[in-house]
Amino acid sequence: TLVTHISGLVTNDPSLGSGSPRSNTADSASDAPVGLIQDAAVVIDGDRIAWVGESSKAPATDNRVDAEGRAGIPGFVDSHSHLVFAGDRTAEFNARMSGRAYSAGGIRTTVAATRAATDEQLAATLDRYLAEALRQGTTTMETKSGYGLTPGDESRALRVAASRTDEVTYLGAHIVAPELADDPAAYVDLVTGDMLDACAPHARWVDVFCEQGAFDGDQARTVLTAGMKKGLLPRIHANQLTFGPGVQLAVELGAASADHCTHLTDADVDALAQSDTVATLLPGAEFSTRAEWPDARRLLDAGATVALASDCNPGSSFTSSVAFCIALAVRDMGMTPDEAVWSATAGGAAALRRSDVGRITVGARADLVLLDAPSHVHLAYRPGVPLVSSVWQAGLKVL
Ligand code: NIG
Ligand code: FE
């Protein structure tokens, strides 16, 4: 398939084209290496990108699609979600919007509902949100366990997830299971023992919620190192609600990503900047918990790699819209539109240690999104507007 006349194709390859035109009112923020090609064309062969360039130079193919000047971006790589769950926390959100604070304890509500659900119900809910995300341009989705908290409930969550995505994360250490609330050490033993044995075959990643009300730095290190010994790769929920040891632990262990990064010391920022650990920012969580925004500008200026993801979950961030997260990051976190789009595509790929997604380059997986807009900047410029017009995922036109 040849897709032609794409206006402003974001490739995430800086050697292809240029960045967005800078206006004379722009601040000194650096532009991300989005590699923008005007009047671009893409050739999709099977599940891969076979050619990228200007429409006028495109090779002839039998199947031709005219984008009619729509902007093109790589499919979003949403590197952080919690989609294996049951139930609903509308009441908790409603209470929060009348002034109650968010705490990790709300997770228990979803744990009870998830344990009571059948495998079929969990699969149907996951499918619903994966489809919802795909319609909004997300072609790669990471998702986690963490609402089961027993060996059986965690491993079934991972089995359900693994039948739908390669990016599956074991988060048995989300909170201490309610039945072991009096004995957190016993719960950590379970998470690093029988539960890990049951879960490791179904997951790629191990994660822990390192936070007050969840797990402290020592417990988090124990959980992540046990997972690593079983061949899982570490990532972490760090520094979301309070300052804490999570970011430093992520860097120490070579984690692919430290997620949330809302409360960072200068030393945390430096540690991220000097490491390969991606800072994954989840502004949907700050939006839905009425918390302060993470400071993307500070991280970028220090030289850290920043990803943007949805954190889609029924408690702290019930949005599957990466475009919404881009708009928040641009409006309130100091990112340029180029940076935000890069972070939601190539940045998410970096947070998942993937080089085959999040970019439109020869050999990459053919995940292409066309927008009903002349530029990717409209993702921030037109917040809340459903701009996704067409989606190819691994070469298949799915929308
Ligand atoms: O990433 N922070 C921990 N976990 C989720 C929230 C889960 C929930 O409230 O159900 C998060 O925000
Ligand atoms: Fe999360």
How far away, in angstroms, is 7 Cα from ligand 2 center?
35
> How much is the pLDDT for 31?
60
Choose the residue to mutate in 89, 316, 325 for probing ligand 1, maximizing ligand atoms within 8 Å of C-beta.
316
> How much is the pLDDT for 182?
98
* Residue 112: both structure tokens together: 């009870």
> How much is the pLDDT for 69?
98
How far away, in angstroms, is 376 Cα from ligand 2 center?
26
pTM over 0.80: yes
Give the SS3 label for residue 4.
strand
Of 268, 245, 261, nearest in space to 295 by CA: 261
Cβ neighbours of residue 392 closer than 8 Å, sequence gap 6 or more: 1, 3, 44, 75, 366, 367, 368, 369, 398
> How much is the pLDDT for 279?
99
Q: Give the integer Cα–Cα distance in Å for 126 and 162.
A: 11
Of 24, 156, 181, nearest in space to 105 by CA: 181
Which residues have CB under 6 Å of ligand 1? 82, 106-107, 110, 209, 237, 240, 285, 311, 313, 315-317
Give strand pairing partners of 237.
Answer: 209, 259
Architecture of domain 77-351: Alpha-Beta Barrel (3.20)
Give the SS3 label for residue 278.
strand
Answer yes or no: are the C-beta atoms of 320 and 138 closer than 8 Å: yes
Neighbours of ion ligand 2 (CB under 5 A): 311
Q: Under CATH, which number does the domain 2-75+358-397 receive?
A: 2.30.40.10
354 assigned ligand-binding residue: no
The identity of residue 302, as a single letter, is A
313 assigned ligand-binding residue: yes
Answer yes or no: are the C-beta atoms of 2 and 58 closer than 8 Å: yes
Shortest-distance ligand to the CA of residue 262: 1
CA distances (Å), 71 to each of 8, 38, 220, 306, 390, in order?
Answer: 5, 9, 43, 23, 11
CA distances (Å), 60 to each of 3, 42, 43, 284, 392, in order?
Answer: 11, 11, 9, 43, 20
Which numbered atom of ligand 1 lies nearest the CA of 89? 10
Cβ neighbours of residue 120 closer than 8 Å, sequence gap 6 or more: none
Tokens 């048995």 -> residue: 172
Per-residue pLDDT in tens (0 to 9) along the chain, 399 residues: 999 999 999 999 988 876 555 443 444 344 668 999 999 999 999 999 999 999 999 999 999 999 999 999 999 999 999 999 999 999 999 999 999 999 988 999 999 999 999 999 999 999 999 999 999 999 999 999 999 999 999 999 999 999 999 999 999 999 999 999 999 999 999 999 999 999 999 999 999 999 999 999 999 999 999 999 999 999 999 999 999 999 999 999 999 999 999 999 999 999 999 999 999 999 999 999 999 999 999 999 999 999 999 999 999 999 999 999 999 999 999 999 999 999 999 999 999 999 999 999 999 999 999 999 999 999 999 999 999 999 999 999 999
> How much is the pLDDT for 20?
57
How far away, in angstroms, is 281 Cα from ligand 1 center?
13
Q: Give the integer Cα–Cα distance in Å for 244 and 261.
A: 10
Give the SS3 label for residue 285.
helix
- Residue ranges per structural domain of the chain: 2-75+358-397, 77-351
> How much is the pLDDT for 16?
86
Shortest-distance ligand to the CA of residue 146: 1
How far away, in angstroms, is 328 Cα from ligand 1 center?
19
Q: Give the integer Cα–Cα distance in Å for 130 and 113.
A: 20
Shortest-distance ligand to the CA of residue 209: 1
